[in-house]
Each structure stands twice: as structure tokens, then as C-alpha cells.
A and B are shown apart, each in its own frame.
Chain A
Amino acid sequence: MNEKIIHELQRKQLEETTRRHFLRECIAGMGGLALASVFGSCNPFEKQDKYAALFSSNPLAPKAPQFIPKAKSVIYLHMAGAPSQLELFDYKPALHKLDGQDCPQSLLEGKKFAFIRGVPKMLGPQASFKQYGQSGAWVSENLPHFSSIVDEVTFLKAMQTDQFNHGPAQLLMHTGSARLGRPSMGSWVTYGLGSENQNLPGFVVLTSGGTNPDAGKSVWGSGFLPSVYQGVQCRSEGDPVLFIKDPEHVTRDLRKASIDAINEVNKIHYEEKGDPEILSRIAQYEMAYRMQISVPEVMNINDEPKYIHEMYGTKPGEVSLANNILLARKLVEKGVRFVQIFDWGWDSHGTDSNLAIDVGFVNKCRTVDKAMTALVLDLKQRGLLDETLVVWGGEFGRTPMAENREGKKNPFKGRDHHTEAFTIWMAGGGMKKGFTYGETDEIGYSAINGKTTPFDLQATILHQLGFDHEKLTYEFQGRPFRLTDVHGKVIHEILG
């Protein structure tokens, strides 16, 4: 496996050098690319020659990471709203016994919750658990398919965050800051690595559940990085990528003829003006034309074989999490670097039946269980699991107490937002298999061992892609910024 990646890396570096040489000889002969105002400053590696960056006309050209990576791409499945770890992975029999009792003051003193007021009741696990696989991982009945692949998975059971509202917590998870304005993880990754496939965006976002994430498009925004690195939302409804479809009366041939005409005139204009930026525009128009073919192709799941549809539980034509998960596999297969999936509807407060931990939540689990299991198995059977890092989780966890909004009992069983313990799992991309890291106390309230934070997760993801998270930086406002700000350490314990 490693050999394959090293080989690939060498090839890429060679290509890169050749291309630069070519550009220097040919285009620099005509006069060098005046792009440094844009790209000269976005030099991800301290030691890379600024002059060389000047000649890199395409900011998405594949770049070599800082060291040999374990993973080439990432699929990040974010269950927006934050799924309950206590009904999925973090089995707490002791919590059963406390069910219905007043929460002890010691758990409430000095703590702040989004909705819990006064003294809430404890809420026992609302699902039964069993151990699975060689690793003996506990999984609840809510995930019958997933329980079969626990030996492929690493669990982080002691994740902690410091944000208990959705928007800020999602931002922290994906941009390293609870405030707006920072680039998202996928943007950092495409900034550092470029894109493998020039006919597809390097960073793709897929959403389901009917609503965008709480933090809006900023969770895939490019912040202060050039906007070319922002996530491109691919959609199952309407155009798969905005504006990718030709207008009604324009056939493919006519579009080709149009782009030929545009580029022909642009070439003449280049002869008149001598500005190399015009050459860059010509290249972008050619790429746009190719994207118009390749994006609808990759976004079409109709032609997937029947067994794949059965495996994922996908139905072509629907907007569903399962469809998006299948699309994610197709995208990484085609060289997309970072696929971020957001699924809305995991906020199980118990304020109505859709948000009840024993009703709506169970249904949500059904929509993801089969597909996420299929994703891991499918990547594996294609030999892609080793080089694809799959991450699954929410923005925080849920309380072992039942929510009592405004100090009164909620109409359904539900749990409030919880920052002190939640579970995330990862598979592939060089993670240990069948491994659990971190532990919570006997009721799942606090992380006690192997605590990890969103920054640690980010550092680890970047590490698997071949980056020291402290060195993937961007100069902005007079200082180098990085995804993990001043925090984060790679969770070496979980690396295979």
C-alpha cells in the first residue's frame, strides 16, 4: 500500500517539476504568470520557493504534502444536530439504574447547558447494547448493520468541545474556530494538496435532511484563503453543481463551439495585451467544459449495479443521506480530495417525536446505518479504504440527563447538548482497526481517559494526509494562521 502511495507521490512530484520547467521555459518566456498577487502569498510550505509558486498557474494543481501520507482523501460524515453517543456507542449500564432520578447537584454546579434548567432527571440508555467483533465493541440495536464492521473502526469515545450551541460547535469542528471567518478543513486540505482530478472540484459538499447545517455555508467556506478553495456543493436536486447545465437551447456541440470561439478571441487578445492571466482564463474555460461532462457523470448513481444499491440502500432520484454516501465513494474514487457530508436532523431534544431519542432518532439511525456500513465495506472491496479516511460524528454529545426545557419535563424523551463527552468513529486512512481510544465515567457524563478535542481530530486528519498541522499555514493579517490555531496534537494512539 505504502509503496503505491510513494510511487504515486514521486510521479506527482516529477510531473510538477516538469510542468514548472515547462512553464518557465515557455510561458515565462512570454512573460511569467502574474498571479503572485493571488497565489504568491498562499505558499503552504515554508521552504517552497515563492518564485516557483508564481509559476503555478493553477491553484488546484496537485501538490505534494510535507511527508508521506497515509490517506489520499477524506470522507467526513457530519450528523448535524449531534447524535447521542449514549444510544449508539457509549454503553452505560449504570445509567439505567439512575433512570428517572434527580440529577445529582455535583453534575450541575458551575455547568451551563443550552436548555436544561434547574434539576433534570437522569435518563437511562434508550437502546439495548451488545458487543461485536473481535474487538468486542459495544454497539446499540440502533445500528444493526454497523455492528458487523466494528473491527474496521477506531472509536474516539472521549471527545470534548467547549461549544454547546450548534452553529459555533460546527464551526469549531470544521474551521478550528467557533467564530466565523476561518477556512474549513476541506479548504485547508485542497490548499495544501490541490486536486487530483482537474475535472472535478477538489472539495465537495453534500447535504441531506432538508436543511443546511446550523453554521451555514461557512462550515465549508474558504475563510481568508482564496475562494477557489471553498467547498463546492454538489446537489441531487437541480443542477448537480450550480450553473453546470447548459441553457435550454445550447447543445453540447454548440457549447463546445462557444468555448472555442471565446478561447480563440481570448488568444487573439493575449497576443494584443501580453497578459498571462488571459492564458489562465483560457485554461479555466476548458476546464469548465470538461467539468460539465464529468460532474453530471459522477453525480449520476443510476448506472450503479443493483447489488450496490442494495448494499447502500440507495434509491436514484431521491435526496437522501444514503445517496450522498454512495456519491462520496464515487467522488473519492475519481480523485476528489475531501468530501464533506452534512445530514440535518440529529438534535434529539425530545421536544417533538421527530426529535425524540426513542422515535425520531431511531429513524435517523436507519437512514445512515446501512449506507455508512456499505461505504466502509465498499471502499474496502475496491482497495480504497487504506487511502481513504472516513470520519463520522456530530458537533458535540448529549447529556445523560433528560432535557427539561425551561425547567419542565419535555413532551418526549430527549437529551440536551453536551460538551464533555461524545463519540466519533473513524475508519481507513491508516487508522487502527477494531480499536477504542478514550473512556468516559460510568454514566457517560465526563471524559476521564484519552480525552481528545476537535483540534486533535483536525491535527490527526491533516497528519494522515501528510501534513504537520503546525506547518500548514497561511499568512494573513501579518501572522501565519493554521487550522488548529494554537492547539491540537496528533492522536498517535489511534494510528495504525
Chain B
Amino acid sequence: MRKIYYLILLIFVSVAVVWYFFPESKIDYNTQVKPILNKKCIACHGGVKREAEFSLLFRQEALAKAESGKYAIIPGDAAHSELVKRITATDPQERMPYKKDPLTQDEINILTQWIEEGAEWGDHWAYVAVKEQTVPLKNDWALTEVDAFVYQKLEENNLKPSAAVDKATLLRRVSLDLIGIPAPEAISKKYLTNSNADAYQILVDDLLASQHYGERWTSMWLDLARYADTKGYERDDSRAIWRYRDWVINAFNADMPYNQFITEQLAGDLLDNPTDDQYIATAFHRNTMTNDEGGTDNEEFRTAAVLDRVNTTWEALMGTTFACVQCHSHPYDPFTHDEYYKFMAFFNNSRDEDTEAEYPLLRHFEKEDTEKLNTLTAWINQNISAEKAQEVYRFAKTWQPSINSIQADQFINSELTDTKWLIFRNNAQCRLPNVNLTGSNRLIYRNSSWVNGGVWNIHLDSVTGPLLKSVAIKNTSNKWQIVDFEFIPVDGTHDLYFTYSSPNLKNADGSGMIFDWFYFTDDWDNNHPDKRKTFWELVRKEPPTTPIMLDNPDKMKRATHIFERGNWLVKGDVVEAAVPHTLNAFPNDAPANRLGLAQWMTDPNHPLTARTIVNRVWEQLFGIGLAETVEDLGTQVIPPTHPELLDHLAWKLVHEYNWSLKKLMREIVLSATYQQSSDVNEELLEKDPLNKLYARAPRVRLSAEQIRDQALAVSGLLSNKMYGPSVMPYQPAGIWKSPWNGQDWKMSEGEDKHRRSLYTYLKRTAPYPSMLTFDGASREVCTARRIRTNTPLQALVTLNDSVYVEAAHHLALKMQTQSSVKEQIGAAYELATGQKITERKLAAFEKLYAEGIKEYQGGTMVKVRNKKEEQPQLKALSLVATAILNLDEVVTKN
């Protein structure tokens, strides 16, 4: 009992002390309390573990009675709050944090005072809608509003901005940033010869208008979209999805408003009468992997793809790591376990089912077929109905919504061969469950057979049930065909039981036929033979395709369950699509599908969407985000360095720029902050080693793509060709060795060897090696941030990779057009850096050149190789060119 009195006394005293010393300052939850809870308490009393049935994640939970029957927190009454008793207890069995170091007196004071003041929960900055910011007063140095915010922080820290950088360095910097390569000569000349005040502004506008702008920013976006040219997993076969990449390039170049940009990618297929482009945009979420490994459960990998879509949507577009909520409530952030699955419900009704063909696919017709289809659907629209026209259009364009044959089960003498297609042996039997037949009297299906005389019977609800149809199966010589038959309509949902036999199947192990999909429809074209002809002609075309998103029609909808502890096999309650309750409300008029989701995400009140893209653009330009962890703006990570600036830009993006990214970038690169010198001195390193306050411009190593593209550009090899299937430049032999996959790296021809790196074929299990070395991503999952490294293997790439050897050779050829060695070296250096070479640097390269000449004119090499003397000068220049392409100032943005 005495202990308690002491305790109360102690608390009283500490509260009194706090009040005495800080009588006016109220404790702030976000900056003072939450960090303590996150660090010291929440591991045991949070979203994952709720020891003693006490959690500090939400106020409601924290104020509730704990297991002991006591209240941990009684607002306004610290002395009786169990939490305060426990953190100040002296008995190690009682004292919290249990078996860890006690809280410091400061921490105890903060928590005590906070409870005394009512234990108010604050909302995390990133989960509250962006508000309009007051721009600090601009001083003389400031050019844009960005500078006003930056300057304010510099002053607070007794720092001064650096001087403006020289024109040539700025030109190189802004070119690499906006278009990913040095500016084309026309643009750079115009800038360097223009001495007017607006020269830089014109340069920025020229760069933003360049087609290369779209290519540079697409490189960034493809990491988020986990774009690759293969399906991933074991077999890792090719996937033709490059039209999506081209869509992104065009969207950036057209400066498609960012809200529209993400709406089309998330839900282009759900817009009214979507265009091909809008369908292609949805391939964003078809960049998930498909598992073709034999023996894999398609439902498992369909589910994996859906989960990946959820995680990527959050990480890439909303700067939140949501993946942990898959297994349990978020440990730190206010997201609950069931909210994950409610969110998943938005994505769980897409048609894709991990099939080998990657259905649904958009079929790209030739122009004349497109016209035929348009004429046909116009006729249907007029003569039958708008719905039928839409249905026919969709089927011709996508073969959807069809039932994949992998949905079959209950196999006897039948099987999903390689777990990919339904296959029949003699006297086969299986079931196609849950088929809604209402309104159908015709089945169109895709199959292949290699045996004559087969009979396929379809029974309703059991093998002995009523016969829906008996079909003679023709030998198609093992070629896929699409055919149909009509049947007498039946209402309702039925299990279809299939049987198959053929007198020509003598061997019990031999198989006779295989199915791909089934499409139930009606005979709308029965009395219109010409229409029927066009329809079949279009349906049977096999044009190039792109995987796209399409939702299940109502009759094929899947229910979404909570997965207990994240295990997809342990299904819990069914949930409906919804968004987390702590964020802005779902718009009233929005549909509960991906389109509604996109409307919610692009609602001006959404706290994360605009902040995330602003932070990402800043990170691309400055090397580090205003909030460093661009993938997660949650409560556990480092808070932003300039929260007001982040919010200001996010506000402007939505309310002033109408989501224009070009305008956002323009504002940033026109700032004095961006145009500073990147020189570092002792004071700056001492006060701000990581340059988080921007008293200087950042120095950042170029990205994998930029390093290669720059080498090609500097040497004059870079092709300006845009778009199309991915290409295969030089790659050492033996990189591709996928199991069960005969595909090979076939070196591209002509200019395709020298395309920009975003066009390089990316195989997930064996990515282009030099890209990986420079921290490129293998794109199996969303990569929100590349961590830059500096390794000897990188040196080996730029010294020895054929790409760079060839580039150096071409640069040497260019150098030869100058007369003296000094001029030759100076010219190459200037091409690579934009700078005039200094005497000392020139001397170093001259020495190297001399060594080369010595070797090539009389050294061991000549004797060994016994070749007709190839110009020793050219080879020596190549040496110098290689050295120049390897300089720190060349692989770095100064």
C-alpha cells in the first residue's frame, strides 16, 4: 500500500515538475507521444501482438479495459492510469516495457502529461488531407515558392544556399533529369548561346516538350509497374506487354493529368466504351507474374497476383506498405487486417486466372478488321441492342468473358495437363462447376483434338443427369480451333458433367482432346448469315495481343474472404470492397469497383496520392525524397525534412496544376534550390552531410539506364527510334538458362542494338546483367526505390562490357575529326561532361594516350597479334575514350 502512495506522489511530483517547467506547451501526440509508443510499446501492444488485450494503435482500443480489468489510460487522470503505474513501477515483474530498459524520465513525463491533458490521439500527417500552405516570405535569393520553403529551413539551421551553378553543368543536370540523356545539340546550342534571362526557362520548356521526356520518366514508372518482358517464376516465358510501356511513354509526353494517368491504369476497362489505349493502360496490373511451372495450383498464383496488385497499388501510388496487413493488423499504422481484404475485393474479380495464355488479352486487329468490327457492332446496336453490341465487341476483342478449362475438377481419365488445359483420355469424365446458363443457348469453345470419332457429352448436375448436348469431336490435327453448338436453353446455375470417349483411343494412357475455354452466349446472329460470317472471321483471327484487366460479369463474381493470418487456404469471413476507415471517405457516387477505387484515390481529399507522386518526383530530381522512404509515408519512418513544402507542392499539383506533372517538374527545376552548385565544403558536410536541407545541389550517381544511354549518346551511337517490341543489345553469352524454356537471347540488328535502355528486353529470372550491377530492378515485384551502391563490379561494366567498348570506339572515331591530340581529348571530355577540360586533367589523359601509342606502335601487342597495323592512334584514343566514360563526373550528375 505504501508503494502506491509513493507512486502517486511520484506521479504528482513529476506532473507538477512538468507543469512548472513547461506550463504552456501542450504535448503533441504525433511528434512526442507516437515516437515513444512506436519505439517502446507497440511491438507488444499494437496491431500484431495485443499482450494483455491492450493495444495502443487506436484511441478506442487504448482507452478500453485491458485483460486485467483495469484501464491503462484514463484521460485526464494520469495517477490512476495503469500505463503510468506500469512505466514507473519498481518491481521488474510489473514494470513496462517488460524485460527491457525502462523509459527515461523525459519519456515518462511526456506520457504522463499527455494523459493528464486528455490523451488525445493525433492523426499522422500523411493520413490527413493536404491543406493549402502559407508560402514563407521570399527573399532575394528565391526564384520560386520552393525556394521560400527551402530558405526558411536553411535559416533555421544557420546555413546559406550555395552559389548558382555554371551554365554547362546546369544544362547537363537538367537534361539528364528531364530527358535522361544529354540534351540534343539543337536544344543545348540554343541555351548556351542565349544570354537572356529567360534562357534557362526556354531550355526547360524545350526539354519538357522533347519526346525523350516520356522515355526518361517511363523508365522510372516501369519499376513501380514491375514491367518486364517475361512472365516470371520458373519457366519465365515471354510476354508481349510492351504496348503498355509505349502507352506510358505517350501518357508522359502528352502530360496526361496524373489523376487520369492512374485512373486509366487502374480501371481503364471500366470506363464508358474504353478505347484500345485505355484497355492497354490496365496492363499496369497485368505486369504481375504468371506461373507456368508444371504442377502449380493456378488459384494459388491467381491469388498471389491479386495480392501483388493490392500491395503495388499502395506502395507505388499511395506510398504505404500495406503488405504486412495481409497477415495481421498493421503493427504501427492504423490499418486493420480485415481492411486489407476489403481492399483486395476491388481486385479480386478480374478475369485473369494464371492461365498459360494469360487471358484476358486485348486482340489488336489490323485496321480493316477494326472497321469490320465497328460496322458489325453498329449494326447490332441498331438492330438488336446496345448491350448485345457491347457484348459482341468485347468477345471479338478479348474472347471474354469465357470460362477457362482449368476450372474443371472431379477428373476421371482426364486431367489438367501440366496444370494448364483440360485434357481427355478415353472414357473421360470431369465436372465444370457453377455455370450460370440463364439466357444462353449456344456454347463457343476453343479446343484441339488429334483423334477421330470422339464424342463429348455434357450432362446437367451429375454424370447421369439430363443430357445438355452430345457433340462429335473432329480431329483438328492437333490445332486449336474455335467452334460452337447450340442447345436447348436451361435456366439457373448448374454443374456441367463432361464425358468423352472415342473408339480410336486404343491405349488407356493415350489422350484425345484438349480444351482451352468455354463461352456461353446466344444465337443472336442466327438469321443474319452475313453478320455471322463476319463475327466468326473476327473471332478466329489470331492477331497480336496484350494482357489486360477485365472484371467478371455478375454471374461469375468471386466472393472475397479474409485469409486467416494471410494464408490463402484458410478462408475467413466474406468481405465487400471498401477502403480503410482512417483515410478519406469513399465518394458517395463512386461504384464499388476499381473505377470507384480510382475515384477515391484521385479525390482531392485523398491524403496520400498527390503527396506520393510529388515526393517521388522530388526524389528523382534530388536523389532523395522530401520524405526519404518514398515507398512508405507511415508513422514508423523518418518524417519529411520539409513537410510544408511537400504539402504545398501536393496542393498545387491538385488545385493549380490540374495534376500536370510537367508543371510540377517545371516549378521544381526552375527553383534557385535546384540551380545551385553541388560543390561541397567542410561546413556543409559538417552541418548537413546528407544534404537534406539543400544548401547545395545534390550529386547523385546516374541510374543504370542513364549510364548506358549517356555512353551511347556521347559516342553518337544512340538510336532515336521509339516504341515497339523490346530489343536485345549486346549481352554476354550464357545469361539465359531458364528451365524448360528454349528461348534464347538473339542479338538485335541495326539500330536496335543502340536503343535507349528502357527498350532492353527484361527477363525476370535473368535480367540484363549490367543493369542489375547498377542497381536496376528485376521487376518481379514493385520497386519503389532503388538503393544506389558503388561497387567494383560497376567499374568492370563500364570498362569492359561490349556496350561500352563499342561506345568508346565510336567516341574515338569522333575524336579523330579533331587535329591535335589535345583537341581530341578536349572534345571527348566536353562531349561527356559539357565542360572544357583543365590542364591537369588533360595531362593525365595525354599520358595515357602516350602509353597507348607506345604499346600499339611497338609494344608486345603488335607482335602477338601479327595483324595488319590498325591505326595505333585510333586504339590509343579508344583507351582515352574509355577512361573518360568511366570518370566519376561522367557517371554522376553534378
Contacts and interface: CB of A to CB of B under 8 A. Distances in A.
Is B truly associated with A? Answer: yes
Contacts of B333: 478
A243 interface: yes
Q: Which of B295, B508, B844, B888 has the most CB of A within 10 A?
A: B888
Contact of A215 (B234, B794, B801): B234
B795 A284 contact: yes
B676 interface: no
Contacts of B289: 180
B766 interface: yes
B233 A243 contact: no
A114 interface: yes
Nearest to B638: A41
Q: Which of B628, B772, B787, B794 has the most CB of A within 10 A?
A: B787
B67 interface: no
A228 to B, nearest CB: 4
Contacts of A285: 792, 795, 886
Given A249-B861, A269-B888, A277-B699, A288 B795 contact: yes
A292 B637 CA distance: 41
B805 A247 contact: yes
Interface in A169-205: 179-181, 201
Interface stretch (A252-260, A297-305, A452-460): A252-260
B780 A181 contact: yes
Interface string A229-260: 01010010111011111110111011101101
Contacts of B628: 37
B411 interface: yes
Interface string B288-306: 0101011111000000100
A265 B838 CA distance: 10
A478 B634 contact: yes
A262 B699 contact: no
Interface string B712-742: 0000000000000000000011100111000
B48 to A, nearest CB: 9
A113 B296 CA distance: 9
Contact of A281 (B417, B636, B790): B790
Given A243-B796, A478-B634, A266 B321 contact: no
A365 to B, nearest CB: 20
Interface in A50-64: 54, 59
Contacts, number: 272
Chain A interface: which size bin? 35 or more
Contacts of A18: none
Contacts of B838: 268
Interface residues of B, number: 110
A467 interface: no
A407 interface: yes
Contacts of B820: none
Contacts of A180: 232, 289, 780-781
Interface stretch (A90-98, A124-132, A159-167, A428-436): A159-167
Interface string B851-886: 110011001110000000000000100111011001
Contacts of B800: 243-247
Nearest to A250: B879
Interface in A407-446: 407-409, 417
B224 to A, nearest CB: 14
A216 B764 contact: yes
B848 A165 contact: no
A261 B848 contact: yes
Contact of A261 (B764, B773, B845): B845
A214 B142 CA distance: 56
A257 B848 contact: yes
B632 interface: yes
Interface stretch (B336-344, B395-403, B680-688): B680-688
A269 B793 contact: no
Given A114-B294, A245-B800, 20 more contacts: A31-B681, A37-B623, A165-B234, A166-B739, A179-B781, A180-B289, A181-B780, A211-B737, A215-B234, A216-B764, A217-B778, A235-B734, A238-B733, A253-B855, A257-B851, A258-B848, A287-B792, A407-B415, A409-B509, A477-B324
8 contacts: A32-B685, A226-B789, A228-B791, A238-B733, A253-B851, A261-B880, A281-B888, A292-B796
Interface of B: 232-234, 236, 289, 291, 293-297, 304, 315, 321, 323-324, 331-333, 411, 413, 415, 417, 423, 425, 508-509, 623-624, 628-629, 631-632, 634-637, 678-682, 684-686, 689-691, 699, 701, 732-734, 737-739, 764-767, 769-770, 772-773, 775, 778, 780-781, 787-797, 799-801, 805, 838, 840-841, 844-845, 847-848, 851-852, 855-856, 859-861, 875, 878-880, 882-883, 886-889, 891-892, 894
